Structure 1
Amino acid sequence: MSETFTWDNVEFDLSDPAFVSDPEAAKRWLEGPRDVCPGRFSDNAEVYVVTKYHQVRGLLADPRVSNHPPEGVHLDSMRKRGVPEELLKYFDSTIMTMEPDDHQRVRGLVTAAFSAKRVRSLRPRIEELTNSLLDRMDPAGVNDLVADYAHPISTTMICELLGVDDEYRDQWIKWTGVFTTFLRPDPKLLPPSLHGMIDTIKRLIDARRAEPGDDLISDLVRISDQTEKLDQVELVALALVLVQAGLDTVRHSIALSLYNLFTHPEQLELVKHNPGDTVRAVMELMRYAGPIKMALPRFATEPIELDGVTIPADGQIQLVVAAANNDPERFHEPRKLDVTRQDNPQLSFAHGAHFCPGASLATAETEIALNTLFARYPDVRLAVDPAEIGPRFLRAVERLPVHLK
C-alpha cells in the first residue's frame, strides 16, 4: 500500500450526515474521477473508493471482486444499521450479496420475468397506466409529477408484476424509505418497518401458495416448493429485494429524468420532437444524473493493485458509478447533457454478472412516462425555481410541481 494512503483524512465519508446533505458533494465527487482514495461507508467501515470509468467497469466484472462479504462482515454491518437479530437471516441471503454459485442459481429464476418478450408484453399496460394518471391531473392547476406520476407508475408496475396486493402498495414506499437511506436509519422506525416488509412478504407467499396467480411471487413459490433451487429464507429475501428495487429505482429514474429535461430546455425539445429516440435519451439521462450513484460494496478476494494502491484481500471497495459515468477519459464533454449521444456505455445498471435484470423494464417505464407526458402536455414546465427541488448527492428529486399548460 502507498505510504500516503491512510484513513486519517477521509473525504468520501458516508457516515457523516453533513457529507450526504452537502449540496456541493455531487460537484466534488460526481464530476471529477480521481485516483483510488480512502473512504468510509455509512456503518463506518473503511473502504477503497474507485471513481475512474475503466477501473469501475473492470472491477464490476473482475473475478477477484465479490459481492459476498467476508464471514460476518455483512451481518455486522446490518446490526450497526439497527436490523433486529431475528431478521438478519433475510439480509444475509439476498441475491445482491450471495456467493457466485448461489447468485447464478437464484438470478436464473428471475431473469425470465424481465425478459425482452415480457417487457414488450407489459408496454400496453404501462401506456394505459400513464394515460390514466394524466387523466386524473388538473390541467389548470399545479401537479406533482413525483407523487402523482413517477410514484404510482413504479409502484403499480412492480407490484402487479410480483403480485403485491393493492392494500400494501403505499405502505411499501414508507417502509423502504426508512431502510434505504444512506444515513443511519431512525432506530425507532427501522424495526417496525422491516418487520412490516417481511411479514407482508410472508403473507403474500402463503396466499400465493394457497391460490397461485399469474405473477412472479406465484412462480417463485412453485419453484421453491417443487425443487431445491430456492429455500424459504431465500424466497422471502428475493421478493423483498425485487419490490424494493422496482419501487425506488424506477420512481427516481422518472423523476430525475424529468427534472434534468426541465432544466435543459434544448434537450427537452429534442425529446419532445423525437419520441422514437427516447430510449437513447433515457440512457443519457441515466449517465448524466441517474438514481444509481454507487454500486453495492464489493470485496477483494485477493490483493488488487490500482493507481499504485494495493487493495488487500477482504478489502471493501466502493465503486462510485456516477463519477465513472462522468469520466472525461471515456465520455466526450461528460458534464454536458446530450440526449443524442451515440457512444454511451454508461454503468448505471452495473456490468457483468450483477447487471440489473430489471434494466429493460425500468428503461421502458421511463421512456413511456416521458413520451406520454410530452405528447399530452407539450408545454409542461416546472412551477417553482429548480433550486427549490434540486437533487443533492445520493438523493433524488422528492417533488416536481409543474404547470401542464
Structure 2
Amino acid sequence: MDPVGGRKIDRGPAGDGCPVRRGPDGTWRVTGYEQARTVLRSGGTVQAGLGIETVEKLPARFRRPVLYRDGPEHREHRRQTARFFTPRRVSEHYRDIMVRVAGEQLARLTRTGRADLPDLAFGLAIGVAAEVIGLTESRPGIQRRLDRFFPEKFGRPGFTSLTGIHWFFRQMRNWLAVYLADVRPAVRARRRDRRDDLISHLLDEGCTAGEILGECLTFAAAGMVTTREFVSVAAWHLFTDDDLRTRYRAAGEDERIALLHEILRTEPVIGGLKRRTTEPLRLDGDTIPAGELVELRIDAANLEPCEPPGLSFGDGAHKCPGAHIAILETDVFLSRLFALPGLRMATPPRVTRKAEIDSYELRNLVVTTSAPD
C-alpha cells in the first residue's frame, strides 16, 4: 500500500545509503529499517534522549517514569499494565469514549462553522488519554495547562542566566498547576475508591503522588501531544489528496486504519530515537561497543520498502503501548470530520520543528464547514 504521494514535512536528507555509520562526534547513526529494528529489540541497549539526562538527576528513591526505565523492572511494569492497551480493550472499552469526545470536539466546529484543527485534535487526545490514565476529576482548563506545559518553543531552565531562571520557574509553575488541578484530585478520588485505570494501578504499586505526576506527564507527552500532531498531519494529507480522501471516505474501518498507518509511516511524529548500548552490538559487520550512543533515524528507516509496518511507534521493549488507541481515535475523529458537509481547509498549517524531541508541530490549520449545529 502506498497511498501517500510524498512527505509534507521536510525531514532533510533520508540518508547516504549506508544503513549504519559512526559520526565524527562518536554517535552511531542508523538509517536502515532492519538495523534500526534490531537495535530497538536488543536487550543490550537502554533508553537515551527524550530528557533522560534530567530524569537521572532525580533522587535515587524517586521512581522513574516507565519511559526512562529498562530491564526487569521495566518489563514487569509493561506486563502488568498491558491490559489497558490491548486491541480488544481499546475497541470494547475506549471506543465509546472516543466517539463521545470526538463528537464534543466536532460540535465546536459545527457551532461556528470554523475551527483550528490542531486545537480540536488536542482536545480529542486529552479527553481520550485522560480516561485511560484516570485524570477524570480535573478542574476546568486541562487543555490550557498542558499547552503551557508543552509550549511551542522551549527554553533551557538553569540558574546561570535570567532566561534560564525564567524557564526554571515557569516549568515549576506548570508542574504545580498540573499537579494541583489534575493529578491530586484524581489520586485523592482513587485512594478512596480504586478504578480500572492507570492511576489506580500505580497506587497499588505504592507510587507517591509526585511519582504519579511524572507518569501522567510522560503519558501526556506520548499520548496527547504526539496524537495531536498525527491527527493534524493525517488530515492535511486527506485535504490535499483527492484520491486519498475519496478512498478514505468510502473505506471500511480496517482499510481506513491501514491508510492511517501508511500516512504515519511516511510522516512519523518522532523522527529519531536514541539508545545507549550496554554490551557490544553487532550490526551489518560493524560492532558497536558498550557505552556508545546510537541514533535511530526513524524518518529514514520508514522510507525503506518492506512488508512489516514502520517504526513510528518504536519497537521492542519500549514500543508505544498506546499505538492502538492513537490509531483508532484518529480514525474515529477523522471519519466523522470528513463526513461533514462543506468541509474544507481554509488555511494550511504552519509547520515548525521541535529539536528537543525530534518532532514537528502543525499549527493554524483552520477548517470550515457548512454543517448545521
For this structure pair, what is the TM-score category when the shorter chain's length is used for normalisation? 0.7 to 0.9
TM-score (norm 2): 0.80
* 1:223-264 residue CA offsets vs partner (Å, 9 max, x unmatched): 224xxxx67765443333223322112211111111122222
What amino acid does structure 2 have at the position aligned with 1:170? Q
Partner of 2:339: 375
Equivalent position of 1:27 in the other structure:
12
Letter in 2 for 1:26: R
Query: In the alignment, is the contact (CA less than 8 A) between 1:146 and 1:398 conserved in 2?
Result: yes
AA of the residue aligned to 1:36: V
Give the 3 Å change call, closer, same or farther, for CA 177–202 of structure 1 in structure 2.
closer
Residues 166/97 of structure 1: CA separation in 2 closer, same or farther (3 Å cut):
closer
1:90, distance to aligned residue in structure 2 (A): 8.9
Q: Which residue is equivalent to 1:401?
A: 366
Q: Is 2:143 the counterpart of 1:170? A: yes
Distance 1:57 1:182 in 2: 30
Q: For the structure 1 residues 266 and 88, does the alpha-carbon distance in structure 2 shift closer, same or farther, using more than 3 Å as the test? A: farther
Pair 293,373 (structure 1): closer, same or farther in 2 beyond 3 Å: same
Match of 1:283 among 261, 282, 299: 261
More strand by share: 2
C-alpha distance after superposition, 1:181-216 (max 9, x if no partner): 787467323333344445667624641344225352
349-358 or 130-139, larger mean C-alpha shift = 130-139
- 2:293 maps to 1:316: yes
1:255 matched to 2:228? The reply is no
* Residue of structure 1 equivalent to 2:29: 49
Q: 5 Å matches for 1:78-157?
A: 78=54, 93-120=64-91, 121-138=93-110, 141-147=113-119, 149-157=120-128
Q: Name the CA distance, whole Å, in 1 between partners of 2:329 and 2:51.
A: 32
Q: How many Å apart are 1:389 and its aligned residue?
A: 2.2
Q: Is the 8 A contact 1:201 1:240 kept in 2?
A: no
Q: Does the 8 Å contact 1:175/1:196 carry over to 2? A: no
In the alignment, which of 205, 211, 216 is matched to residue 224 of structure 1? 205
Q: Residue type matched to 2:329 in 1?
A: E
Verify the 8 A CA contact 2:81 2:198 in the aligned structure 1.
no
> 2:80 is paired with a residue of what secondary structure?
helix
What's 1:193 paired with?
174
Alignment-mate amino acid for residue 71 of structure 2: P
In the alignment, structure 2 segments of 5+ residues that lack a partner are: 1-7, 158-162
Task: Give the deviation of 1:175 after TM superposition.
Answer: 4.3
Aligned residue type for 2:350: I
Determine if contact 1:160/1:215 at 8 Å carries over to the other structure.
Answer: no
Change (3 A) 1:108 1:201: farther
Aligned residues: 346
In structure 2, C-alpha distance between the alignment counterparts of 1:208 and 1:139, rounded to whole Å: 34
Measured at CA, do residues 54 and 181 of structure 1 come closer, stay the same or move farther in structure 2, by a change above 3 Å? farther
Contact kept, 8 Å, 1:257 with 1:285, in 2: the verdict is: yes
- Cα displacement (A) at 1:65: 2.0
Aligned position for 1:298: 275
User: Could you tell me whether the CA contact under 8 Å between 1:47 and 1:317 is conserved in 2?
Assistant: yes
| Contact 1:68/1:98 (<8 A) preserved | no
Q: CA deviation at 1:163?
A: 2.4
2: CA distance between counterparts of 1:220 and 1:101?
18
Which residue number corresponds to residue 246 of structure 1? 223
Note the C-alpha offset of 1:51.
1.3
- In 1, Cα distance between equivalents of 2:130 and 2:71: 28
Alignment-mate amino acid for residue 326 of structure 1: L
RMSD, matched Cα? 3.4
Residues 70-85 of structure 1: matches in 2 within 5 Å?
A: 77-78=53-54
AA in 1 matched with 2:303: N
SS of aligned partner of 2:360 = coil
Deviates more, 1:367-376 or 1:181-190: 181-190
Counterpart selection for 2:39 from 52, 55, 59:
59
Cα pair 1:113 1:216 within 8 Å, conserved? yes
**Aligned mates of 2:236, 2:185 — CA distance in 1:** 35
Asked if the contact 1:154–1:247 (Cα under 8 Å) also holds between the matched residues in 2, the reply is yes
Q: Partner of 1:313: helix, strand, or coil?
A: coil
Q: Gaps (5+ residues) in structure 1?
A: 1-22, 332-342
Could you tell me which residue of structure 1 aligns to residue 131 of structure 2? 160
Corresponding position: 1:350 with 2:314: yes
- Aligned residues of 1:256 and 1:396 also touching (Cα < 8 A): no
* Structure-2 change in CA distance of 1:104 and 1:307 (3 Å): closer
**What SS does the corresponding residue of 1:143 show, helix, strand or coil?**
strand
